[in-house]
Every structure is written in structure tokens, then in C-alpha cells.
Amino acid sequence: ELVPYLARRFGTRPLGCSIRLRFVNIGQSRITQVLHQKVKLDPDVAQTSQFRAGRVDFTFSLPEDTPAARERLTQLKERIRRYLGDYIYADDDTTLEASVLDLLSRQRQTLGLAECATGGLLAAALSAAPGSHVLAGAVTAPSEGRLRALLGAPASKPGSSHAQTNGTDPRQEAAKGCRRLARLAAQATSADWTVAVGAPRRDERQTADVAVAIRRPDGTISAFWVSFAQQAGEGRERLVTHILDQLRRQLLASSRP
């Protein structure tokens, strides 16, 4: 009774229909550019957006809730997916964490984690999401050496971890060490997939680079680097978002025939 009264009293219109698309690792400005140049929204389609830590939610709505309006929004969603589908992880309230866990569950596979730079944020985010039963285990430590020890690796010889002593590229050595962490995590957790996050490599700009390795069920391992602002409040959140998105993409690729 209240809603009709308010509509009469203040001249408001009934709520229309809407769709929601959730994007990851693409900026609002880039999405808006594609919407205007490629998708070309109709004038009566209203849009709003929210952004945090590398994740963007766009809502598109029409003033009337009718079958024809809902069909228009469905067609709009498909047009947007045509251009930005790789960046969309959900078209409902599903979080990025829940999306990753759902992909693992659909493939009947499990996930193990070994975290250094993320400080346990990956495990915390995934554990709090629906579908966390696919987590096989997680280990967190403040240094890679301590992480290796917790994963059961024999202690390294003094000085053996310093790439400068033999002229090896430090970044290559760090990536190699992260791959080893991924293998150790797979052995320790018996997980099908494992993600290992190395220690941050700091610079004078208050940013850091971190090596991340993802081990797939067939034993192959891919490593990549992520930069993040250590002092910014969202720095580690963005790092977690980037890692989850990379895992999501690899899970999607592995599920395709």
C-alpha cells in the first residue's frame, strides 16, 4: 500500500527493469568508450556504475518493466558481451570469488594456495564465498623462505637464493622460485590447481612487483608479474582481483573443448 501512495503523493514512476554486468580488470572509461562507440545505447537506457579495486559494476535500466523492455535489455547484454565478454565475470550478484569457485566446482577440481605478498587475503576472500568447499588448503607466510619451509621443502643453502651471485636475471629467478612454490603447494594440499604468490619486490616509487604462478591439473605452470601500490588502501585488493581474474581466465580456457 505504501508504494502506490508514494507514487501518487510525489508523482514517482514504478520501478522499471534492469540488468547488471560485472567487469574485472578493465577501467570504467574503457567500458564507457565501447558502450558509446560500439554498442550505442538507446537514449532511454539509463546506466550507473560502481568501481572498486579493479572491479566495475554497470547497471542498465529501462523505465518500464514489460516483456518487451526485458527483451531489449537481454539483447543489450548480448551486444555488450560481443565486445567486452572477456572482462565480464557475472551478470547477477555473483562475486568474482564465487565465480572462480563455481568454475572449479563445475570441473570437479580443487584449489590450493601459497601466499606471501597477499598475506592470506586470497584465502580469506575465497573462504568467505559460496562454494569454498573446493579449497583444498592454504598456507601463508611473510617470506618465501618461510613459505617453502611450511610447505615441507628442505632448507636452501646460504646464499643460494641470491641471483646476483651467478649473474641470473633476478626476475627470472623470482619467477622460477614462485613456480617451485606452486609445485610444493600442489604436493602439500593435493589440489588440482594451485596458486602461489611470491614476495613483493619493492622500488623507490612505493610500488611493488610480485611474481605469481598458477599450476594446472596437468602439471604445467604459468608465471606472470603484477604491480601494485603497497601504500594505497586498495593496493592488495587490486592484487587479489588481478590474480583471481587470471585464474578465472585459465579455468575458462581449460573447460573449453
Contacts 24+ apart (CB under 8 A), 122-128: 122/195, 122/197, 122/240, 122/243, 122/244, 125/97, 125/240, 125/244, 126/97, 126/100, 126/101, 128/97
Residues 55 and 104 in one domain: no
pLDDT at residue 149 is higher than 50: yes
pLDDT tens per residue across span 11-38: 555 569 999 999 999 999 999 999 999 9
Residues 61 and 145 in one domain: no
**Pairwise CA distance, residues 160 & 115, whole Å:** 21
pLDDT at residue 154 is higher than 90: no
Residues 218 and 155 in one domain: yes
Give residue 235's pLDDT. Answer: 87
pLDDT band at 2 (very low <50, low <70, confident <90, very high): low
pLDDT band at 9 (very low <50, low <70, confident <90, very high): low
Residues 124 and 142 in one domain: yes
**Count of C-beta atoms within a 10 Å radius of residue 145:** 16
- Strands 111-115, 135-140: pairing is parallel
Q: Pick the residue with more confidence: 196 or 236?
A: 196
Residues 166 and 82 in one domain: no
Residues 26 and 148 in one domain: no
**Pairwise CA distance, residues 134 & 127, whole Å:** 9
* List of residues 6+ apart from 27 with CB closer than 8 A: 56
Residues 127 and 218 in one domain: yes
The SS3 of residue 24 is strand
Q: Pick the residue with more confidence: 242 or 255?
A: 242
* The three cell numbers locating residue 53: 579495486
- Which range, of 96-105, 199-208, 244-253, averages the lowest pLDDT? 199-208
Instruction: Please count the structural domains in the chain.
Output: 2
Q: pTM, whole model, 2 decimals?
A: 0.88
Mean pLDDT across 165-191: 90
Mean pLDDT (the chain) is 90
pLDDT tens per residue across span 43-89: 999 999 999 999 999 999 999 999 999 999 999 999 999 999 999 99
Residues 174 and 210 in one domain: yes
**Pairwise CA distance, residues 254 & 112, whole Å:** 17
* The three cell numbers locating residue 105: 566446482
**Pairwise CA distance, residues 109 & 57, whole Å:** 28
Is residue 224 within a helix (H) or strand (E), and if so which, with residue range? strand 221-229
Residues 155 and 192 in one domain: yes
Mean pLDDT across 240-248: 98
Distances (CA, A) of 232 to 131, 143, 229: 30, 21, 6
The SS3 of residue 125 is helix
pLDDT at residue 232 is higher than 90: no
Residues 116 and 192 in one domain: yes
Residues 78 and 136 in one domain: no
pLDDT band at 256 (very low <50, low <70, confident <90, very high): confident
Residues 108 and 198 in one domain: yes
**Pairwise CA distance, residues 196 & 25, whole Å:** 20
Supply angle C-alpha 120, 123, 128, rounded to 5: 125
Mean pLDDT across 106-133: 97
Strand partners, 111: 135, 193
The CATH number assigned to the domain holding 184 equals 3.90.950.20
pLDDT band at 158 (very low <50, low <70, confident <90, very high): very low
Range of the domain at 196: 96-255
Mean pLDDT across 103-117: 97
